[in-house]
Amino acid sequence: MMENKNISRPMDLTRIQVTDDFWKREMELVRKEVIPYQWDALNDRVPGANPSFCMRNYRVAGKINKIRREQGKNYVETVYPVDFNGGAPEVLPESMDQMEDRFYGFVFQDSDFAKWIEAVGYSLTQHPDEKLEAVADAAIDVVCDAQQEDGYLDTFYIINDRSRIFTNLKDNHELYCFGHLTEGAVAYYQATGKDKLLKAVERYADFISDHFGPEEGKCKGYPGHEIAEMALVRLYEVTGKEKYLDLSRFFTDMRGTRPYYFDYEQNAKQDDGLRYEYHQAHLPVREQKEAVGHAVRAVYLYSGMADLARLTGDEKLLKACETLWDDIVDRKMYITGGIGGTHIGEAFSFAYDLPNDTAYAETCASIGLVFFARRMLQIKADSKYANVMERALYNGILSGMALDGKSFFYVNPLEVLPEACHKDERKFHVKPVRQKWFGCACCPPNIARLLSSIGSYAYTETDDTLFMHLYMGGEITRTFGNGAEAKIVVTSGLPWDGNVTVKAETDSDQPFTLAFRLPDWCDSYTAEGIEDAQTEIRDGYLYVTRVWKDNSEVKLSFPMEVRMMQSNPQVREDAGKVAFMRGPIVYCMEEADNGKDLHLVSLGDDPQITEVSSEEFGYQTVMLEVTGRRQVKEESEEKQLYHIYRRPQYQEAKLRLIPYYTWANRGEGEMQVWIKER
């Protein structure tokens, strides 16, 4: 393996305390609202919501293991049908305890626990909570009881039919659940130092490692839903065991090779790569040049590929990552950082096909894009990655959660007409109001795990450099080669103003470099306190190298002006339209402020823009007022569907724009990001 000194590492969360006004509020929502709600959901205690059955399935599997041990050789395995959605009894009994000992819920239900324990781990680093930790430890006991003697740990197959494990990698999410469990175990171990779950996952990973591999007789398959690739890298990094890295590489290298493994396991003979674009298994990964298929799977795969490229120095793999990144960001990403232009397959559409009203732009996909970005940043600190990370975080991801943390969007459209969401099946996936929880609960827990670990995206480091990819108030503890420690205290006005202060608190003078990202939303900046430092600008970062003494301070100021944005003319849906941004924040019009029929609103000549500070959403945000106009509907023309052209009449209108992430917090109504010029 090559050593590359430029490669940076995310920081252990125990070394970062996020104190940022903006992000801390979001993290507290996760801690106080999402994590407890999620635990109730895992235990089927949310009135009115579909039960998850997650913890129940683990307990049933544990019971089976117990009986198996007790009966020894006399034990007869349980065999039930292996259905993707194990469902629930049509009528739930009074008490769940009256239900049969079966597997219930979707095939991937185990992952609900994994995502929860991951979020809990991160949260504990920022806010120790003995009670929560005790609940988590008890839950881990239940999960570990479900593990079988050989290490296998997937309740779907343990309960339904152990003999069929790893026989439907394409659809049955077995390795996906493993990947999530691994991420959860690593996070919990890093947060608490407790390794019970980590050890269980290692045993499971060893089992998988014995089953899959290049050696003759071993299975040549790979995950239908990617995540194990990057999870195994994390497991390798925390345990140092190369076999996990090898397994990740094996999964990645086998993907898309011919004959297609998914053909083989399903006894199909199509050899039709198009069928596997959904899984990014249409081509070997190094030959993939276009981001295709299910958007979440895609960015999870690319994240794993970036991890491997980083650790192995594989140039071809890195090149593929770069090409795929550019394909997303230059051709397939909404201005909000949303990805996935079509709900069919929750997938990327073709280049420049970015419909606003039928967008998929799943919250999880933008989260995956952040994973991918952070990994690319580790390889090369190029602000192009961090700019996108910031864009997705403040817009397409945060819009996934209500301001009270109690309801969520899967889909983050850029234009909504509620009537269409209710009446037009083509838009049934677009919800005009956030929903409580989902039967297939991926987005809320994904938001929880991302926000709880947000600090690890803001900062990465090498031996001599601390990178600030995002400006996020907090305290970073940095240990130096000589054992000395320094605390770096960051304050930030983002996303509402661009003033950032970075101050060192240290007992001893320390030479090192701070690398500050120069955001894409301003053309200039000012920096104070770098007069006696060595500075360099490279790839969108300002590198400040100096000896940092106690109270050394750098003040950065990034001017934050409202920008009227335009899309590439190839984006048909945005032609003749503009969107507004201020700093990293994308704005939108809502019916609550601007009335109905937003399609009749336009800007006209020379729009005047005013920034307005507002506390409407419970804390200070910046809204925009823009002068525009609204086409007048003549009474006489209302009935006739088509008529001879009459020059439209307009009324002046003062448009009010709110941050996109705050939309749909005031009931159901129309919304639009892109506004007609005329």
- What minimum distance in Å lies between the beta carbon of 276 and a second copy? 16
- What minimum distance in Å lies between the beta carbon of 642 and a second copy? 5
Closest CA to 556 of 498, 470, 488: 498
Closest CA to 453 of 115, 54, 198: 115
Residue among 40, 353, 485, 611 that touches a second copy (CB under 8 A)? 353
Q: Is 442 a catalytic residue?
A: yes
CB atoms within 10 A of CB 334: 30
- What minimum distance in Å lies between the beta carbon of 147 and a second copy? 41
- What minimum distance in Å lies between the beta carbon of 534 and a second copy? 32
H or E segment at 315? helix 315-331
Residue 387 in contact with a second copy, rule: CB under 8 A: no
Residue 287 in contact with a second copy, rule: CB under 8 A: no
Q: Tell me the pairing of strands 577-582 and 675-676.
A: antiparallel
Residue 335 in contact with a second copy, rule: CB under 8 A: yes
- What minimum distance in Å lies between the beta carbon of 94 and a second copy? 24
* Region near a second copy per CB under 8 A, out of 9-17, 71-79, 349-357, 510-518: 349-357
- What minimum distance in Å lies between the beta carbon of 399 and a second copy? 17
Residue 7 in contact with a second copy, rule: CB under 8 A: no
Residue among 67, 138, 268, 344 that touches a second copy (CB under 8 A)? 344
Burial of 486 (0-12, 13-18, 19+ CB in 10 A): buried
- Residue 24 in tokens: 């801390």
Residue among 631, 650, 666, 668 that touches a second copy (CB under 8 A)? 631
Residue 25 in contact with a second copy, rule: CB under 8 A: no
Angle (nearest 5°) at CA 312 between 308 and 314: 85
Residue 594 in contact with a second copy, rule: CB under 8 A: no
* Region near a second copy per CB under 8 A, out of 129-137, 302-310, 314-322, 347-355: 347-355
Q: Between 569 and 667, name the residue whose CB sits nearer to a second copy.
A: 569
Q: Between 215 and 638, name the residue whose CB sits nearer to a second copy.
A: 638
Residue 638 in contact with a second copy, rule: CB under 8 A: yes
Q: Between 112 and 362, name the residue whose CB sits nearer to a second copy.
A: 362
* Region near a second copy per CB under 8 A, out of 34-42, 105-113, 510-518, 594-602: 594-602
Q: Is 443 a catalytic residue?
A: no
Q: Between 180 and 332, name the residue whose CB sits nearer to a second copy.
A: 332
Residue 125 in contact with a second copy, rule: CB under 8 A: no
* Region near a second copy per CB under 8 A, out of 258-266, 310-318, 503-511, 560-568: 560-568
- What minimum distance in Å lies between the beta carbon of 655 and a second copy? 16
- What minimum distance in Å lies between the beta carbon of 308 and a second copy? 27
Q: How far apart are CA 349 and CA 356, in angstroms?
A: 12
* Region near a second copy per CB under 8 A, out of 86-94, 297-305, 597-605, 654-662: 597-605
Q: Between 265 and 670, name the residue whose CB sits nearer to a second copy.
A: 670
Angle (nearest 5°) at CA 332 between 565 and 6: 90
Decide: 495 and 584 in contact? Cβ < 8 Å: yes
Q: Between 2 and 641, name the residue whose CB sits nearer to a second copy.
A: 641
Single out the catalytic residue among 174, 202, 277, 346.
346
Q: How far apart are CA 335 and CA 579, in angstroms?
A: 9
Decide: 53 and 155 in contact? Cβ < 8 Å: no
Residue 578 in contact with a second copy, rule: CB under 8 A: yes
Strand partners, 461: 9, 466
Q: How far apart are CA 106 and CA 143, in angstroms?
A: 17
Q: What are phi and psi of 8, to 5 degrees?
A: -105, 160
H or E segment at 125? helix 110-126
Three-state helix/strand/coil letters over 26-47: HHHHHHHHHHHHHHHHHCCCCC
* Region near a second copy per CB under 8 A, out of 148-156, 262-270, 404-412, 557-565: 557-565
Residue 279 in contact with a second copy, rule: CB under 8 A: no
Q: How far apart are CA 296 and CA 146, in angstroms?
A: 28
AA identity, residue 490: V
Q: How far apart are CA 271 and CA 88, in angstroms?
A: 36
Decide: 133 and 35 in contact? Cβ < 8 Å: no
Angle (nearest 5°) at CA 15 between 9 and 18: 105
- What minimum distance in Å lies between the beta carbon of 607 and a second copy? 10
- Residue 387 in tokens: 């700019």
- Residue 151 in tokens: 């290490």
CB atoms within 10 A of CB 8: 24
Decide: 559 and 531 in contact? Cβ < 8 Å: no
Closest CA to 394 of 214, 298, 520: 520
Decide: 124 and 176 in contact? Cβ < 8 Å: no
Q: Between 369 and 448, name the residue whose CB sits nearer to a second copy.
A: 369
- Residue 127 in tokens: 């806010």
- Residue 636 in tokens: 């006489």
Residue 522 in contact with a second copy, rule: CB under 8 A: no
Question: Which residues 408-447 are close enough to bind a second copy by CB under 8 A?
Answer: 417, 419-420, 423-426
Q: Between 2 and 274, name the residue whose CB sits nearer to a second copy.
A: 274
Residue 258 in contact with a second copy, rule: CB under 8 A: no
Single out the catalytic residue among 177, 442, 443, 588.
442
How many residues contact a second copy, by CB under 8 A?
53
Q: How far apart are CA 557 and CA 263, in angstroms?
A: 56
Residue 608 in contact with a second copy, rule: CB under 8 A: no
Q: Between 249 and 676, name the residue whose CB sits nearer to a second copy.
A: 676
- Residue 339 in tokens: 């990805």
Residue 646 in contact with a second copy, rule: CB under 8 A: yes
Q: How far apart are CA 324 and CA 303, in angstroms?
A: 11
* Region near a second copy per CB under 8 A, out of 326-334, 460-468, 472-480, 610-618: 326-334
Residue 349 in contact with a second copy, rule: CB under 8 A: yes
Decide: 7 and 460 in contact? Cβ < 8 Å: no
Footprint of a second copy (CB under 8 A): 329-331, 333, 335, 342, 344-345, 349-350, 353, 358, 417, 419-420, 423-426, 563-572, 575-576, 578-579, 597, 599-600, 602, 631, 633, 637-646, 648, 676-678
Q: Which residues are catalytic?
A: 346, 442
